[in-house]
Amino acid sequence: MGVIKKIGLLLKETIISPSTESYVIDKGNDTYVIRSNGNYEGIDLSGVDLSSTQLNKVNLRGAILKDANLDNADFSGADLTNADLSGTTISGTHFDSTKLNGANFNEASFEKPPSGVTQDILKKIEEGSKDE
């Protein structure tokens, strides 16, 4: 996607939803505009860099985020039920009030613990297992 088209997408998102941050994400031949409160159920964002993004209350139910960089991202109030977070980096990531039931944290890693996760989930992340 060309630079002009990306700028057009960002301008469109700004007009539609000026109070939320929008992020243009390139993944192969596809380009996505992701923003807080958006519905991206089942989307494949494996390997993308979502570090330091503000994705509050986003619906990523069943999304594939395998090997994504989620460092310092804010998923407060988001729904990550059954999301594949295997191989992600989640250092300093905010999961406050986030639904994480069934999320797969296999081989996820962090240097700074994520916030908003229970001790049970944190232990499972450290062990690299699926949250049940």
The vertex-76 CA angle with 43 and 131, nearest 5°, equals: 65
Is it true that domain 36-132 has CATH number 2.160.20.80?
yes
On whether the CB atoms of residues 106 and 88 are closer than 8 A, the answer is no
Structure tokens at 93: 């990531």
pTM over 0.85: no
Q: Is the pLDDT of residue 122 over 70?
A: yes
Domain coordinates in residue numbering, the chain = 36-132
Torsion over CA: 59, 123, 88, 83 (sign): negative
Give the DSSP letter of residue 86: T
Phi, psi values for residue 14, rounded to 5°: -65, -40
Q: Is the pLDDT of residue 96 over 90?
A: yes
Mean pLDDT on 24-36? 85
Taking the C-alpha atoms of residue 45 and residue 65, their distance in angstroms, rounded to an integer, is 5
pLDDT in tens, 44-71: 999 999 999 999 999 999 999 999 999 9
pLDDT score, position 9: 53
Give the lowest-confidence range in 22-26, 41-45, 51-55: 22-26
pLDDT score, position 18: 46
